[in-house]
Structures are given as structure tokens and as C-alpha cells.
Amino acid sequence: MQNIKEQLNILRKETQNCLKCPLSQNRTKIVFSDGNENAKIMFIGEAPGKNEDKMGLPFIGRAGLLLRKYLKELEYNENDYYITNTVKCRPPENRKPTNKEKKACQNYLKKQIELVDPKIIVLVGSTALESFAIEKTTITKARGQVFEKEYAGKIRKFIPIFHPSYLLRKHSEEQNSPRFLFKKDLIFIKELITL
């Protein structure tokens, strides 16, 4: 029987040949994932950007580096998390992926969740939140809360957080600023994992 890493590699190869939506026509590389396939935390972002498309790794542009900076600052170990996106190819001009594009990638993402089987799924930004239909709410109202929902064969815990691209426009770290709340949510997630 294949282990999780082998099964994820098969799935990665499948995405590399994917032509299910128009995003496949202009991609440089598939952006499948980064991190530990046995992680307790899975971060799901919106879509690859320019740097991600070029390198084939998620969250390595300015926003992604900010997320990684906070994770390091808060002493997350790289083995603690697995990172992916709602879609595996970059939308033109970094626009939000359409529902049709997200639907084309949905089975890949669902299989990643099944295989990694994280304890917590962190929905990074409003597009990820909308993709999982976590109640009819906004990221501002939902961030930092735990939502339980059946997905990929079991009840799972979802926690929405701000997208780090939003933080790039909000530099203050004063109490209740977006950066302060972002860090607070990451601390809360880490605490949940250690319970």
C-alpha cells in the first residue's frame, strides 16, 4: 500500500497534466503544495501569484513571505503545516479564481485534505472562506472562529484568517489592527493544536 507522500505525488502528477479549465493554458508551473504531508495544520489560500507560478510553490510572493515570517516569529515548526491553494494555476493578473476554476480544482483539493487529514484547516482570506461555504459571512466577521463542517469524509475544523496580502496594506500592529488580529489568530491555532 502506498504511503501518503506517494499518493500525494501521484495526485501532483495528475494536476501537472490537468486541462480542466482555461487557467492551464497560461501557467508556467502547477502550484501544488509545500510543507509536511503529515501536518496537523493545513493552510489553504486563494491562488498562485506570479512568483508562485514561476517557482511552483505556494505562498512565496510578498504576501506569502509575510505569512511565513509570522509563522517563524510565532515558533511554528515547518513540520507543523502544509500549504496549498483553492486552485493550482495562476489566474491572469492575479485576479480571484472564478467558481468554474475553483470547481475544476475541487477534487484535487479534496483529495489533498483526505490524504493529509489535518486537525485544523486554516482558510486564508475571503476566497478560501467562500470556497468552503462556511456560513454566509465575511472574512472580517468569521476570522479567528472555529467552524465545524463535514468535508472529505469527516467532520473537520475550519478557521478563517485574513489573507496576508491585506496586511501588506495595513502596517499597524496596534491592538485590534489587522496585523494584531492575524497574529492573535495564528497563536490561537497553535494553541488548539497543542491541546
Nearest to 167 by CA among 180, 151, 156: 180
| CA nearest to 94, candidates 53, 147, 130 | 53
pLDDT value of position 194: 81
Q: Is 160 left (phi over 0), alpha (psi -120 to 50) or beta?
A: beta
Percent with pLDDT over 70 in the chain: 98
CATH tag for 4-194 (out of 2.40.128.90, 2.70.98.30, 3.40.50.300, 3.40.470.10): 3.40.470.10
Q: How far apart are CA 53 and CA 71, in angstroms?
A: 22
Distance between CA atoms of residues 69 and 80, nearest Å: 15
* Residue 44 contacts residue 123 (beta carbons within 8 Å): yes
Residues 6 or more apart in contact with residue 77 via CB below 8 angstroms: none
Contact 116, 43 (CB under 8 A): no
Work out the average pLDDT over 74-100.
94
pLDDT above 80: residue 195? no
Neighbours of 50 (CB within 10 A): 12
Q: What is the structure's pLDDT at 132?
A: 87
Q: Tell me if residue 95 falls in helix, strand or coil.
A: coil
Ranking 56-65, 75-84, 171-180 by mean pLDDT, the lowest is 171-180
Q: How many CB atoms lie within 10 A of CB 138?
A: 11
* pLDDT tens-digit map of 123-169: 999 999 999 877 678 899 999 999 999 998 899 999 999 999 999 98
Tens-digit pLDDT profile for residues 66-86 = 999 999 999 999 899 999 999
* pLDDT band, very low/low/confident/very high, at 88 (cuts 50, 70, 90): very high
Give the model's pLDDT for residue 152: 87
| Res. 1 pLDDT band, cuts 50 70 90 | low
45 neighbors 86 (Cβ within 8 angstroms): yes
For residues 171 and 73, give the distance between their C-alpha atoms in angstroms, rounded to a whole number.
Answer: 16
Say whether 147 sits in a helix, a strand or coil: strand
Q: Hey, where are the domains in the chain?
A: 4-194
Report the mean per-residue pLDDT for the chain.
Answer: 94
SS3 58: coil
